[in-house]
């Protein structure tokens, strides 16, 4: 069986150098794009009195809150070293100051995707673009040497569960509509 470190070594050794800046940009876009989507959704919803957008704002905000707390608890409870610390052959191409497990970048982007998917289920082309962006952010964390594959996969799981919890416990319990 291939270990996570071997996967990362392979990705690192066989990466296409001219894409490094693209992956750095994608990785850096994660929190900025997510914050912009949250703020713009809230502003539009409240200024135009659009219930659907207010509900989406609450879904994204609630899921981001749950996922951020979950990621922080896991990161500082587990304290997993970053892959570039474990193996010097893996080159770090970005900043990474906190523990590795799980990937906060991936979790945040996937919260946006899953929230939008629940809300805009008929907008398949748009959702495909958001999904691709979120996946590429997750991949960028591997390609840049900042995370293990299990960090990224766990981030996706946390995002899905966070959105599902908010949708189920808050929206269904209080009969709010998305």
Per residue in 44-70, pLDDT (tens digit) is 999 999 888 999 999 999 999 999 999
C-alpha distances (whole Å) from 117 to each of 58, 114, 121, 124, 162 are 15, 5, 5, 9, 14
Q: Quick one: which of 168, 154, 58, 165 has its CA closest to 107? A: 154
CB atoms within 10 A of CB 74: 20
pLDDT reported for residue 157: 98
How far is the C-alpha of 70 from the C-alpha of 75, rounded, in Å?
9
Return the pLDDT at 58: 94
Of 148, 110, 102, the residue nearest 127 (C-alpha): 110
How many Cα atoms within 13 Å fall on the side-chain side of residue 36? 5
Please list, in sequence order, all residues whose beta carbon lies within 8 angstroms of the beta carbon of residue 111, skipping any fewer than 6 positions away. Answer: 34, 60, 63, 64, 67, 159, 162, 163
Compute the distance between CA of residue 105 and CA of residue 68 in angstroms, rounded to an integer. Answer: 10
Band (176; pLDDT cuts 50, 70, 90)? low
Q: Tell me which of 118 and 178 has the higher pLDDT.
A: 118
pLDDT of residue 171: 67
- For the chain, which domains are there? 18-172 (1.10.606.20)
The arithmetic mean of pLDDT across residues 121-130, rounded, is: 92
Give the pLDDT score at 59: 95
Question: What is the pLDDT, as a whole number, of residue 169?
Answer: 82
Residue holding tokens 């899953």?
Answer: 114
Torsion of CA 152, 155, 157, 161, to 10 degrees: -170
Contacts of 96 (CB under 8 A, 6+ apart): 82, 84, 146, 147
Q: What is the mean pLDDT of residues 74-89?
A: 94
Q: Mean pLDDT across the stretch 122-147?
A: 95
- The confidence band for 8, taking pLDDT boundaries of 50, 70 and 90, is very high
Residue recorded with tokens 């996570």: 4
Residue holding tokens 């998305």? 178
Predicted TM-score (pTM) of the model is 0.93
Per-residue DSSP letter, 90: S
pLDDT of 132 over the 90 cut: yes
């Amino acid at each position: 069986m291939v270990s996570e470190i071997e996967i990362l070594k392979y990705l690192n050794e066989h990466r296409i150098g001219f894409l490094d800046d693209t992956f750095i940009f994608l990785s850096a876009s994660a929190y900025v794009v997510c914050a912009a989507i949250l703020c713009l959704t809230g502003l539009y919803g409240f200024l135009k009195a659009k219930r659907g957008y207010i509900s989406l704002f609450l879904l994204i905000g609630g899921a981001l809150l749950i996922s951020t707390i979950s990621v922080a608890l896991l990161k500082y409870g587990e304290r997993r070293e970053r892959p570039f610390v474990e193996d010097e052959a893996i080159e770090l191409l970005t900043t990474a100051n906190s523990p590795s497990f799980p990937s906060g970048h991936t979790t945040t982007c996937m919260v946006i995707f899953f929230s939008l998917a629940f809300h805009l289920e008929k907008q398949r082309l748009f959702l495909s673009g958001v999904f691709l962006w979120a996946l590429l952010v997750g991949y960028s964390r591997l390609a840049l040497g900042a995370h293990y594959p299990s960090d990224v996969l766990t981030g996706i799981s946390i995002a899905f569960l966070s959105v599902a919890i908010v949708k189920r416990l808050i929206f269904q319990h209080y009969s709010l509509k998305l």
